[in-house]
Amino acid sequence: MSILNPRPGRTSTSGLERAVDEALLSEAVIDDGDLGGRRANLRAAVGTLARKPGFVLALVFTIFVVLTAFVPSWFAGHDPYATSPSDRLLSPSLSHPFGTDEIGRDLWSRVVHGSALTIKATIIALAIAIVAGLTLGVVSGFFGGIVDALIMRAVDVLLAIPSLLFALAIVTALGFGTVPVAIAVGIGIIPGFARTTRAEVLRVKTLPYVEAARAGGASWLRVLVRHVLPNSWGPVAVLAVLDTGVAIIAIASLSFLGFGAAPPAAEWGTLISAGRNFLITAPWVPLLPGLFVAAVVLSLNHISKTFQELAR
Amino acid sequence: MTRYVLGRVAQAVGVLWAAYTVTFAVLYLLPSDPVALQLGAAGIETDKLSPSQLDAAMARYDLDRPVLEQYLTHLWNALHGDFGMSISKQVPVTDLLVDRIGATAALSLLAGTLSLIGGFALAYSASYLRWRPARLLLSRLPSVGASFPQFFVGLLLIQVFAFNLAWFPATGTDGFSSLVLPAVTISLLTSSVLAQVLMRSFDETLRQPYIVTARAKGLSRAAVQWKHAFRNAALPAMTILGVVVGLTVTSAIVTETVFSRNGIGKLAQEAVIAQDVPVVLAIVTFAAALFVVVNLVVDLLYPLLDPRIVHVQKVSR
Amino acid sequence: MTTPTPVETDSPLVTVADLHVGYVRRRRSVPAVAGIDLTIRSGEIVALVGESGSGKTTVANTLIGLLPDNATIGGGSVVVDGVEVVGAKERTLRSLRGSVVGLVPQDPMVGLNPTRRIGAQVAESVRLRGVSGPQVDAEVLELLDQAGIDDPALRARQYPHELSGGLRQRVLIAIALAGKPRLIIADEPTSALDVTVQSTILDHLERLVRDSGTSLLIITHDLAVAADRSDRVVVLQHGRIVEQGRPADILVRPAHEYTRRLIAAAPGLANGGRIVPHFDLAPSEVATPDPIIRLESVSKAYARPGGGDRFLALDDVTIEVARGRTHALVGESGSGKTTALRLALGLEQVTSGRVILDGTDITGLGWKQTRPLRRTIQLVHQNPYASLDPRFTIGQSIVEPLVSFKIGDRASRAARAAELLDQVSLPSSYRDRLPSELSGGQRQRVAIARALALSPELILLDEPVSALDVSVQEQILQLLTELQERLGLSYLFISHDLAVVAQVSHTVSVLNRGTVVESGSVAQVFGSPQSQYTHQLIDAIPGQRAEAAAHVEEVAHV
């Protein structure tokens, strides 16, 4: 084989798939009467998603959690800081869905108010990761050459340091609190983002329609904005949703380890960490908030996975 | 061949050096007042000291010299296995690491073994099963496993297997039985990650035309899966071994804290709480070294396992 | 070795009766095969011919029991060697595979397991037949030898990536033979290979099955290949059989309109196995004083990965395109034709030589300097499925060059888009559609419309019809010719298919390994080829044998 075909395999499909494609070829072409176009496509995609109960559930729950972060008072019946010595360590009930902690504070209200800190930290972390990661990835993939080599070497180095450990170093340097934790986690996600974005940009950049646009006289800027970016954001968006879950776990872990906001304010991780002393006597104190965090991450992962399958 | 190996080793050393340097920069340049941060870790409150006392304290921890000079000294010493003194504990960092490494190594080995077995078993059976509901269930498991925060998993395991069933001790560093719950906690995450990558790899491999060739020979599905799909699917997945090892190390931080095990992970947590900069630097460097070495080994082994890869200059990046 | 015993019995080896197969996608069942009846007798060679979507591959997959999971057999019966396949258990199907039905898959480049040695992969099939011990090695070597592989002992120890495509296809044939099946299904066995390799492999496969009395089912889109090799041709369209019979009968008296179209589109069949050029230029007309583009003694070298010698993709090549005419570049893969096109387009720079576009020397000019010239030269890409941005509507795609050059306003661009759609015979309602809602042929029309947007003088056509079905190819070539006449366009036409070239080109250059081996008018080069290589290419065009046979019969008949 010549050097012109450096990657054998991977491109061709099997006879089985070809048979399916053949059968569906006629389906891909719609009637002349149909209008088709973007809106119809979007409607079809929404229709497909709406028919997936798991996806709808995950989406509704995610929206609920985001709402709790911004208007916790809508969902919490009690003051999260109001102590009540007579109501210590009550097990879950109608008035206290998650029970109460060792000084009688309503745990559900504390979890809901904890959303505000944790979700905002997640948003900061993602904003850092997306802005820096996208910029690095696009610049690297689009311009190539020395710029690409330099950026990718830097990314390799960052990838060599496990992200939670790197976050620890940053927290050590910046001090404790919600914002340092958010920054630390955000920086830790940058390399993965940069890599995925770069790979997508590189993939789209070599597609025939980009070459066609160049041959049609389009400038590189136009090619980037009109062709490369719109066609490469899909996998990047999937990763962003997935990384939201990763960021939530990382932020909760860091606050669990004791690096988050100072008491009495409590992020999800802090709540669980404080509750673990009561594991024997009142297991719901650490476990129910933990389950809540898991449900949030699970929802995000499911949304991400559904998008991924839809794109295929 | 030799040239390739040497080049690859040099690259690994370069990455490790850069990782050390970046971490050093974060710890020594990022804080607004590095002196107060470090002396604070030693229990000294800088604003209560007289200027001469402050100078003496700074001299004691080598903080009075320019950062670049400090960096070169630290780097030189680190190359000789000396990471300086722990500020909060007043013991050489290297001694601390040596003291704690056994517990973490044992935990990581068991967790690694469990996650390899779990990840492979899950991915293999998910791609082999024909019954759709079972297949769907298995393919969803990894993403569920990766969704549970490790501190939650740890606490849940303690509640069920230590408090309710009393099969294993809840905390501690004594003997094999104390290893089981933390190792399971870690491997739940790492095996999920491994299984996700393997499942994708199996899916991709089973779609390849040579699988059709194999089935057309009259081989059973089991034989096709084992003889033709397994190796081709497992090879690309090898490249994430470094990531899995890195994940195991970081998991040790949360897990050892939950289970009160005296390992490197708990040391890291204590060091950050105490803002003990030399210890943090040493642990981050250690983890980076582990990652770099694992990737190096995988890269050097890969061509021995995949006949298609021959050593040529890297032209793909 | 046991001697094969071709039993000529009345009961056929394969009987397909009223077979219906559909594929489920998005909760809808799309029919692929809609009521097919077919028989294959022992020792018979049957060819299943059809374009994409005809269901030919589905029939083959049903026979060997390898339908994908989302396929459902809606009804009918398939009996292979006395065993009912429809509704059969995997165990039953497996006992048929290899030992009764063997498969030669389509693409040899990916048909072999990359991480196992050739010998082991052939041995697997031999062992399934119950052979064991040292006998296995002996049979593997014999099979490889039978399949026409030199030095079988060496090849058996190699990995697939160390073999050429042709050799890999021979290995796959050896694997299919290893089970001593009664029927071999060859699924587009050579479409992925170069023409000259194609014919030798098909000859070899045909000889092997004829000698051993094995039945052969050839699945192909190419009626000419089918007619050359088979005892009986079965023509499929939309999952139904439209016609079947002996090749000689079908070629001379096609009963169905569709078959007639296929014959007309297959050059080897249409004109008595000869290539008849569409334009007949006298030798004196070939030279032209003022070509629209001229590549003058250009060479292009690429660095080999890993250093070492440089690789010459083009070596001192001179090509020119006369105004208002079509010049074709013909060659097999690796001949350098695509490199020549990229140089002409300015996507890459020459290593030596000159590129002269419309009288201007553009050698070594950067993108900015050549940008104004870009209006005179446009490209139509090979693969219409990838050359349109999936997020752009058809209208946006067509006017994109206008937007890039800041020509006109919204209204004038819309008007131009309508005009262009009309020129390529697409309804103007297609403007708001997305590429995924168009067929391959329609997409290629859109790509042509986009290339026309700037009213260029020269269009580079990179295998513009090779990804399309034969009958669609015909329409696109027709469109290109019409546009040339109406707009006075010049084309540089890249193709591996001599017949297609003959239909649209005035002049041609034959490329082989980076050098021009022959050039001149199409009539002259194809009519009386001077070089050995051009001879080979012309001889490899399928359909000539069947056409000759049909011709002989016709004469005898009269």
Chain-wide mean pLDDT for chain B? 86
Domain range holding B181? 101-274
DSSP symbol at A30: P
CATH number of residue C205's parent domain: 3.40.50.300
Q: Which of C180, C208, C224 is the last residue of a domain?
A: C180
Counting residues of chain B whose pLDDT is more than 70, the rounded percentage is 97
Whether the model pTM is above 0.90: no
Asked if C161 lies within 8 A of B307 by C-beta distance, the reply is yes
CA C75 distance to own-chain centroid: 33
Residues C222 and C341 in one domain: no
pLDDT at C554 (0 to 100) = 66
Rounded (5°) CA angle C372-C378-C381: 145
Instruction: Identify the structural domains of chain A with CATH numbers, from first to last.
Output: 18-311 (1.10.3720.10)
CB-based contacts of B68, cutoff 8 Å, min separation 6: none
Residues C372 and C288 in one domain: yes
In a domain, B293, yes or no: no
Give me the amino acid identity at A300: L
Residue-wise pLDDT tens digits, C384-399: 888 898 888 899 999 9
Residues C252 and C395 in one domain: no
Check CB contact of A54 with chain B, cutoff 8 Å: no
Radius of gyration of chain A from its Cα atoms, rounded to whole angstroms: 24
ipTM score assigned to the predicted complex: 0.87
For residues B36 and B38, give the distance between their C-alpha atoms in angstroms, rounded to a whole number. Answer: 6
pLDDT at C127 (0 to 100) = 92
C296 in helix, strand or coil?
A: strand
pLDDT at B317 (0 to 100) = 36
In a domain, B135, yes or no: yes
Residues C467 and C536 in one domain: yes
In the block, residue with structure tokens 């094995």: C214
pLDDT at A144 (0 to 100) = 81
Average pLDDT score over residue span B39-53: 75
pLDDT at A16 (0 to 100) = 40
CB-based contacts of A52, cutoff 8 Å, min separation 6: A306
Q: How many CA atoms lie within 13 A of A104 on its CB side?
A: 7
Token digits of residue A8: 């054998």
What subunits make at least 3 CB pairs under 8 angstroms with C?
A: A, B
Buried b (16+ CB within 10 A) or exposed e, C485-519: eeeebbbbbbbbbbbbbbbbbbbbbbbbebbbbbb
Q: Which of C180, C197, C221 is the last residue of a domain?
A: C180
CA B53 to chain A, closest CA, distance in angstroms equals 24
Asked if A173 lies within 8 A of B16 by C-beta distance, the reply is no
Residue-wise pLDDT tens digits, A263-273: 777 788 888 88
Q: Residue A20: pLDDT above 70? A: no
In a domain, B48, yes or no: no
pLDDT at C1 (0 to 100) = 39
* Count of domains observed in chain C: 4
Residues C478 and C338 in one domain: yes
Residues C311 and C205 in one domain: no
For residues B233 and C106, give the distance between their C-alpha atoms in angstroms, rounded to a whole number. Answer: 23
Give me the amino acid identity at C282: A
Contacts of B257 in chain A (CB under 8 A): 256-257
pLDDT at C350 (0 to 100) = 87
pLDDT at C472 (0 to 100) = 84
Nearest Cα residue in chain B from C98: B217
Q: In Å, what is the CA distance from A200 to each residue of A203, B229, C397?
A: 5, 27, 22
CA C537 to chain A, closest CA, distance in angstroms equals 21
Q: Residue A254: pLDDT above 60? A: yes
Tell me the torsion sign for CA atoms C209, C215, C219, C224: positive
Option in A8, A15, A35 nearest C106 (CB): A15
CA B297 to chain C, closest CA, distance in angstroms equals 20
Asked if C103 and C184 touch (Cβ cutoff 8 Å), the reply is yes
For residues B144 and C541, give the distance between their C-alpha atoms in angstroms, rounded to a whole number. Answer: 58
Strand duo C293-303 + C310-321: pairing: antiparallel
In a domain, B20, yes or no: no
Backbone angles phi, psi at B136, to 5 degrees: -60, -45
CA A226 to chain B, closest CA, distance in angstroms equals 25
Contacts of A17 in chain C (CB under 8 A): 68
Option in B16, B151, B280 nearest A172 (CB): B280
Q: Residue A13: pLDDT above 70? A: no
Asked if A22 lies within 8 A of C439 by C-beta distance, the reply is no
Q: Which of C269, C286, C313 is the last residue of a domain?
A: C269
Size of interface B-C (CB pairs under 8 A): 83
Residues C75 and C208 in one domain: yes
* Count of domains observed in chain B: 1
Option in A41, A212, A226 nearest C379 (CB): A212
Residue-wise pLDDT tens digits, A88-122: 777 787 777 788 877 778 888 888 888 888 899 99
Closest listed residue to residue B275, CA positions, set C173, A140, A170: A170
In a domain, C432, yes or no: yes
Average pLDDT score over residue span A232-244: 85
In the block, residue with structure tokens 């759709």: B132
Residue B186 pLDDT grade (very low, low, confident, very high; cuts 50, 70, 90) = very high
Residue-wise pLDDT tens digits, C110-127: 889 988 999 999 999 999
Low-confidence ranges of chain C (pLDDT < 50): 1-8
Backbone angles phi, psi at C68, to 5 degrees: -65, 165
Residues C95 and C203 in one domain: yes
Residues C322 and C421 in one domain: no
Residue-wise pLDDT tens digits, C68-96: 888 888 888 999 998 998 888 888 999 99
Asked if A109 and A77 touch (Cβ cutoff 8 Å), the reply is yes
pLDDT at C72 (0 to 100) = 87
Strands annotated E in C331-410: 352-357, 360-361, 377-380
Option in B150, B207, B292 nearest A17 (CB): B207
Residue-wise pLDDT tens digits, B236-253: 888 888 888 888 988 999
In a domain, C436, yes or no: yes
Residues C129 and C167 in one domain: yes
pLDDT at C78 (0 to 100) = 92
Option in A29, A213, A217 nearest C439 (CB): A29
CATH number of residue B181's parent domain: 1.10.3720.10
Interface test with C, best of B130, B213, B215 (most C CBs within 10 A): B213
Residue B178 pLDDT grade (very low, low, confident, very high; cuts 50, 70, 90) = confident
pLDDT at B2 (0 to 100) = 78
In a domain, C255, yes or no: yes
Q: In Å, what is the CA distance from C170 to each residue of C166, C173, C363?
A: 6, 5, 45
Residues C531 and C464 in one domain: yes
Check CB contact of A171 with chain B, cutoff 8 Å: yes
Residue-wise pLDDT tens digits, A21-47: 443 333 334 444 445 566 677 777 787
Residues C30 and C88 in one domain: yes
C48 in helix, strand or coil?
A: strand
Domain range holding C434? 389-455
